[in-house]
Chain A
Amino acid sequence: MSKNMITGFFAVALGGIYLIATLNLRHPTMGDPTGPKVFPLIVAILLIFLGVLLLMKEIITPKERRSILSFQLPAEGKKVLIRIVITAIAGIIYGLVLVPLGYLISTTVFMLGLMFLVNTFARWKQNIMVSFGFSLVTYIGFATLLHLSLPRGIFSF
């Protein structure tokens, strides 16, 4: 499927869902006469219209001129997607442990994870140095110099 096709379908789908959600909004008897529904309604209709327009334009475009979504080399593209998924999961875990473990420990572990993910296992010394260095420098910079409180967790300094 071409890039414009995907975008068009996405616009129609999102516009449709948004339209249904808008129609289900409560209409208040008080407040301003226009109400909270009108603006979302306009946006929803506009978005569906734009999606349909994009799809129609793409259908009349000759196939060879369409731009296809590709993730470069299939193997490399797959790697990128895997990296993104792992980063996302790491980010969620980071969010869960940040307060209980404290900034220094959880950030070091999060950075270690990311560094090993993108900087290969062979450069493990570099990974460890960058992760520790980053957490320490940002902690000192933000907590000490800028007086913003970062979670201390199990350390108490």
Chain B
Amino acid sequence: MLDSLNYLALGMHEAFTVTNIMWVLIGGILGTVIGMLPGLGPATGVAVLIPVTYGMNPATALITMCGVYYGAMFGGSRASILINTPGDASAIVTCWDGYPMTRNGQAGKALAISAWASFIGGMISVIFIVFLALPIAKFALKFGPAEMFALLVFSLTAAVTLSKGNLIKGFIALCVGFIISTIGIDAQTGVMRFTMGFVSLQEGIDFLVAMIGLYAVAEVFKNYSSLNAKYGVSKSDIGKVSMTREDWKRCIGPILRSSPLGFIVGVLPGMGGTIATLLAYSTEKQISKHPEEFGKGAMEGLAAPEAANNASSVGAMIPLLTMGIPGSGTTAVMLGALMMLGVQPGPTLFIQHPEIPWGVIASMIIGNMLLLAINLPLVKPLIQLLKIPQRILMPMIMGLAFMGTYLMNYSSSDFFLLILFGIGGYFMLKLDIPIPPMVLALILGGSLEQSFRQALTIGNGTPVLIFTKPISITLLTIAALSLVYTLVKDSITKAKISKDQADKHF
């Protein structure tokens, strides 16, 4: 407890430098802008803005990326509320009541509720993170290869079972990610694997090239079919961006209930904001005295998912910082960028470089306040950006993607891979194959294989260690149960659908 506060003071010292505050602000604004652009989510935002962090020290880089991440979440809510275009899956629930409020002429109120709910959700989560980060990191320090292997299996399974769509396709995406992660020289034996004779592939494929390709280039390709889509809101239909005392009374309960919920879901590895927002929304709908208003512009239906979403994105920093396990596409991109800078997040990071994780935690407090300050008064000029047509925006995103790839190694030889991943990602979108499992497998595949082999080595070539350690058994059991649960749930839903269809026919 006291330790945590001491470290927080260290973090404050790190975060409250002029440079870092400036970068939180810049990152927050850039993130808000990118998150707001129709169809672009936080993962694309972070991927495109990675080059900004190349010249920085690791703490500043991570602080900036967090600013971009939270900014993109704030910005994404603007787009969901005003023009009904969620940037990623976790913003979908925001549309359910946010957009109806806009149509009811309450856009200003909706924007204020979303900003305050996000702010409070984020702040409550930061308090949790301060007291939980150290104990969890200390716990994770005890993890051997067997536990690590089980944790990775658990996270990856969770990422697949929770991603929407076909379960088998999710696992196929996972395998493709693993395949890419095995390309290059094997770390333990030095054997060259799957380089197909290309010298440039010996060191493996850079995660970041893959991620910029999958999240930026593929998104642009997807948007090539909707170049003439027009969005736009004039200043006049928004109204006053503020909440009345009456609004506060209705929203504070949902916000205070959804924040801890969102945080807990965010902390669980492999789970992202989507589950948090869905849970918060359905809980509020169930306990509401007027559930019939939900979906038609109920304030509670907007406040709850917004608080949960931000709370879970802060919570997601716990598995990322303490164990090096990202729970979503966005945090995976952040992990990739950190590894690029030579930082491997995990329990040892808290011991060897406490200023990095604690600086980030402290910066979240500043970031949240700055974002509230940006999003309340400046929202009207910012949403004018929604008027920029797609046909101008898309070439710029593409330009940034290429620039980021060049700056990674100061070489343009990766452009070929970038385009390849862009085209691959486009076909994955077209074939409804989820991209996040592949990205997570790509970045975690190496650790998964290493921990698997180390566990086998310690167990004299048998997997006995994996199935005897209590933590690893528990994690593997939960992973298996979540898989079975999803399969059963899917088949029940399917049976229901076919029964409904049968009922209609007869």
B54→A146 contact, CB < 8 A: yes
Residues of B within 8 A of A138 (CB): 399-400, 403
A118→B394 contact, CB < 8 A: yes
A110→B402 contact, CB < 8 A: yes
Residues of B within 8 A of A91 (CB): 402, 415, 418-419
Q: Is A84's CB within 8 Å of the partner chain B?
A: yes
Smallest Cβ distance from B85 to chain A, in angstroms? 18
B224→A114 contact, CB < 8 A: no
Give A146's nearest chain B residue, CB to CB: B55
Tell me the complex Cα distance, A118–B471, Å.
54
B179→A32 contact, CB < 8 A: no
Query: Which of A43, A51, A95 lies in contact with B178, CB distance below 8 A?
Result: A43
Q: Among residues 388 to 442 in chain B, which have CB atoms less than 8 Å away from a CB atom of chain A?
A: 391-392, 394-396, 398-400, 402-403, 406-407, 410, 412-413, 415-416, 418-419, 422-423, 426, 430-433
A25→B225 contact, CB < 8 A: no
Stretch at the interface among B265-273, B352-360, B453-461: B453-461
Known contacts A7-B431, A11-B172, A30-B189: does B412 contact A99 (CB below 8 Å)?
A: yes
Q: Is B2's CB within 8 Å of the partner chain A?
A: no
Smallest Cβ distance from A83 to chain B, in angstroms? 5
Tell me the complex Cα distance, A67–B189, Å.
45
A96→B423 contact, CB < 8 A: no
Q: Is B452's CB within 8 Å of the partner chain A?
A: yes
Contact with A along B188-209 (1 / 0, CB 8 A): 1111111000000000000000
B456→A14 contact, CB < 8 A: no
Interface residues of chain A: helix, strand, loop or mixed (majority): helix
Q: Among residues 94 to 115 in chain A, which have CB atoms less than 8 Å away from a CB atom of chain B?
A: 94-96, 98-99, 107, 110-111, 114-115
Residues of A within 8 A of B176 (CB): 14, 47
Tell me the complex Cα distance, A71–B226, Å.
12
Residues of A within 8 A of B398 (CB): 87, 114
Interface residue range, chain A: 35 or more
Residues of A within 8 A of B384 (CB): none
Smallest Cβ distance from B435 to chain A, in angstroms? 13
A84→B221 contact, CB < 8 A: yes
Tell me the complex Cα distance, A99–B122, Å.
44
Q: Among residues 17 to 62 in chain A, which have CB atoms less than 8 Å away from a CB atom of chain B?
A: 18, 21, 25-26, 28, 30-36, 38-40, 43, 46-47, 50-51, 53-54, 57
B179→A77 contact, CB < 8 A: no
Stretch at the interface among B73-81, B88-96, B163-171, B331-339: B163-171
Contact with B along A124-157 (1 / 0, CB 8 A): 0010001000100010001000111110000000
Tell me the complex Cα distance, A43–B186, Å.
16
B188→A43 contact, CB < 8 A: no
Residues of A within 8 A of B391 (CB): 118-120
B395→A115 contact, CB < 8 A: yes
Contact with A along B295-339 (1 / 0, CB 8 A): 000000000000000000000000000000000000000000000
Query: Which of A36, A96, A110 lies in contact with B191, CB distance below 8 A?
Result: A36
B419→A92 contact, CB < 8 A: yes
Residues of A within 8 A of B168 (CB): 50, 53-54, 57
Q: Is B367's CB within 8 Å of the partner chain A?
A: no
Tell me the complex Cα distance, A53–B454, Å.
31
Give A120's nearest chain B residue, CB to CB: B391
Known contacts A15-B175, A28-B190, A31-B188, then 11 further A-B pairs from the complex at CB < 8 Å, ordered by chain A residue: A25-B191, A31-B190, A39-B449, A39-B452, A80-B224, A88-B423, A99-B412, A107-B399, A111-B395, A118-B394, A126-B392
Interface residues of B (CB under 8 A from A): 51-52, 54-55, 166, 168-169, 171-172, 175-176, 178-179, 182, 186, 188-194, 220-221, 224-225, 227, 391-392, 394-396, 398-400, 402-403, 406-407, 410, 412-413, 415-416, 418-419, 422-423, 426, 430-433, 448-449, 452-454, 456-457, 461
Q: List 27 A-B contacts (CB under 8 A).
A: A4-B169, A14-B176, A26-B191, A30-B189, A32-B453, A34-B456, A36-B186, A39-B453, A40-B182, A47-B175, A50-B171, A50-B175, A57-B168, A88-B419, A88-B422, A98-B412, A99-B412, A107-B399, A110-B402, A111-B396, A117-B395, A119-B391, A120-B391, A130-B392, A138-B399, A146-B54, A148-B51
